[in-house]
Structure 1
Amino acid sequence: LWTQKVKRWSDFLIFSASRTVFHHNSDAVIQLLRSCFTCTLGLTPTSQLCSYGGVGALLGHGFGSRYSGGISTAAPGILYIKVHRSIRDVMFLTEEILSLLMFSVKSIATRELPAEQAEKLKKTKDGSRYGIGQVSLSLAMTRVKLAASLGASLVWISGGLNLVQALIKETLPSWFISVHGEEDDLGGMVPMLRGYALAYFAILSSAFAWGVDSSSPASKRRPRVLWLHLEFLVSALEGKISLGCDWATWQAYVTGFVSLMVQCTPAWVLEVDVEVIKRLSKSLRQWNEQDLALALLCAGGLGTMGAATELIVET
């Protein structure tokens, strides 16, 4: 018993001392975040800890559950939960987590969608295809959602409400405006998957911070931040803001974000200015997204009922 106790004390002291590294070195924090993504998504099959991916690889079985070379190790998720309070400046984490999410999406697409399958899937009408291509796309989307949920969890754990609001108001708009010169050799599937990943990332982060209804005290801040983000979307759709990202990424993000908001958080739509909802619906119709435009107007309540009726009559 004494031997076990001394070993646990040694592990505790070493673990506590490691916080100093993350307090002074931002590169160490980024490397830890990268390990969280690779382990959760199973992108490093050579590592026994991360070979299967999932939450089990991210969190393990607590501190000291694994031994490597006589040294007790911790899963990356457990380590980050313990040390994130020691990070001196958390504001830079949103951009880093966003970058890691985009890199992870490309890795997922490269693994799940070989170039030949992606090209065949792209050429099919309306994206509907049965067989290997459709299965591969479904698997890729599942892992993309997992990566987005991990990114949202890391943002929420790291900085709470303030970091999530900075993500929605500043980081995401800046990312869409910036130019990203990465090549895609998978028939345009990577930009599309990135757009959907960003939509899940934004919705989940916001849900963690504000809740999906009005029961959370933080929900009082939701209408203002949500209005600013939707105003950015509408302004870009109307050509008032120039975008630097891939068009497929932007289209997937807008349709994915609106669809998730209508289906999963309809209470948010009621809090947005009616005119913004109408302008957004009009822009969606120009993309031939009549069903989504109608669903958005229906979720807007009495203020958008007239516009919804007009859309039904026209179509």
Structure 2
Amino acid sequence: MAHQVAMLGGGLLCIAGGPLVVQVLYEDTLPTLLLSAREQSLKDPGPVSSTLQGYAMANMLFYCGSLLWGADRSSPVMKLSFLSRRPRVVRNHMDFIAGVLDGHILLGCDPGTWKAYVSQFMFLVVKFVPSWLPDIKLDTLKKIAAGLRSWHEHDLALSLLERGGPQAISVVVETFL
């Protein structure tokens, strides 16, 4: 049910708000929510609720992006101005994730929410839109993969690096050595 709600929410945001709303969601709204979530919460939601919040945010953000930008990098439709922003918008969001995982940015949300958000978002990107990953800086991919490995998400970390394009192949080899 939560999966379907996220799909509906993502679809409605794309249709009603358009490309700019999705861009703001990736670059501003969601990071701000994750940075300041504890200040707004009056009571501790508990581990199950926190995890579900993370999954819901990841699903909605992913569906907004995938509905708007699609999965194909080489499509002639990508020449439209709002679609050509995808590499920069996704790169900025991945830089935010890497910055938090690397300890350079401190979160205000529950750690369970953050872990569920990152794990689910990365899973969805790796599985359904791996064509987005070659646009991400190698250093960013390394930091995200290291964070996933620290949570014992070894398979997801490896899949992320494998789909990161030719520049990430050396990092994949290093993980096996």
Q: Same fold (TM over 0.5)?
A: yes
- Paired residue for 1:153, among 1, 8, 11? 11
The one of 32, 44, 49 equivalent to 1:183 is 44
Q: Distance in 2 between matches of 1:184 and 1:175?
A: 15
- Residues 223 and 271 of structure 1 are in contact (CA less than 8 Å); yes or no, is this contact kept in structure 2? yes
For 2:26, give the aligned amino acid. Answer: I
Q: TM-score, normalised to structure 1's length?
A: 0.52
Paired position in structure 1 for 2:141: 277
Q: Is the 8 A contact 1:213 1:219 kept in 2?
A: no
CA distance in 2, matches of 1:221, 1:288: 33
Kept in 1, the 8 Å contact 2:101–2:143? The answer is no
After superposition, where does 1:86-125 map in structure 2 within 5 Å?
Answer: none
1:300 pairs with 2:164: yes
- How big is the shift at 1:183? 2.9
TM-score by length of 2: 0.90
| 2:114 is aligned with 1:253 | no
The Cα of 1:184 is off from its aligned counterpart by 2.7
1:228 is aligned to 2:127: no
The CA distance in 2 between the partners of 1:184 and 1:159, in whole Å, is 30
| CA contact 1:155–1:205 (8 Å) conserved in 2 | yes
Indicate if the aligned counterparts of 2:35 and 2:109 stay in contact, CA closer than 8 A: yes
Q: Which has the higher helix share?
A: 2
Residue 192 of structure 1 corresponds to 51
Cα deviation, residue 219, structure 1: 3.4
Q: Distance in 2 between matches of 1:250 and 1:161?
A: 25
Deviations 1:208-256, CA, capped at 9 Å, x for gaps: 2211112233432111001110110011111111111111010000010
Q: Using the alignment, how far apart are the partners of 1:176 and 1:220 within structure 2?
A: 26
Q: Which amino acid aligns with 2:153?
A: E
Please tell me the residue identity of whatever aligns with 1:162: L
Match of 1:174 in 2: 32
Of 212, 215, 234, 2:71 maps to 212
Provide the aligned C-alpha RMSD in A.
1.3
Count of aligned residue pairs for this structure pair: 169
Q: CA–CA distance in 1 between the matches of 2:15 and 2:135?
A: 26
Cα distance in 2 for partners of 1:282, 1:197 equals: 24
DSSP 3-state at the match of 2:118: helix
In the alignment, structure 1 residue 289 sits paired with structure 2 residue 150: no
1:164 aligns with 2:22: yes
Structure 1 residue 284: deviation in Å? Answer: 1.5
Aligned-partner Cα distance in 1 for 2:142–2:165: 12
Q: The residue matched to 2:105 in structure 1 has which SS?
A: coil
Which 4+ residue blocks in structure 1 deviate beyond 3 angstroms?
none
Q: What is the CA deviation profile of residues 23-63 of structure 1, one whole-angstrom value per residue up to 9, with x for unaligned ones? A: xxxxxxxxxxxxxxxxxxxxxxxxxxxxxxxxxxxxxxxxx
Does the residue aligned with 2:136 lie in a helix, a strand or coil? Answer: coil
* Greater Cα offset, 250-259 or 176-185: 176-185
Gaps of 5+ in 2: none
Higher relative contact order by CA 8 Å / sep ≥ 6: 1 or 2? 2
Give % identity. Answer: 36
Separation (CA, whole Å) in 2 of partners of 1:247 and 1:302: 33
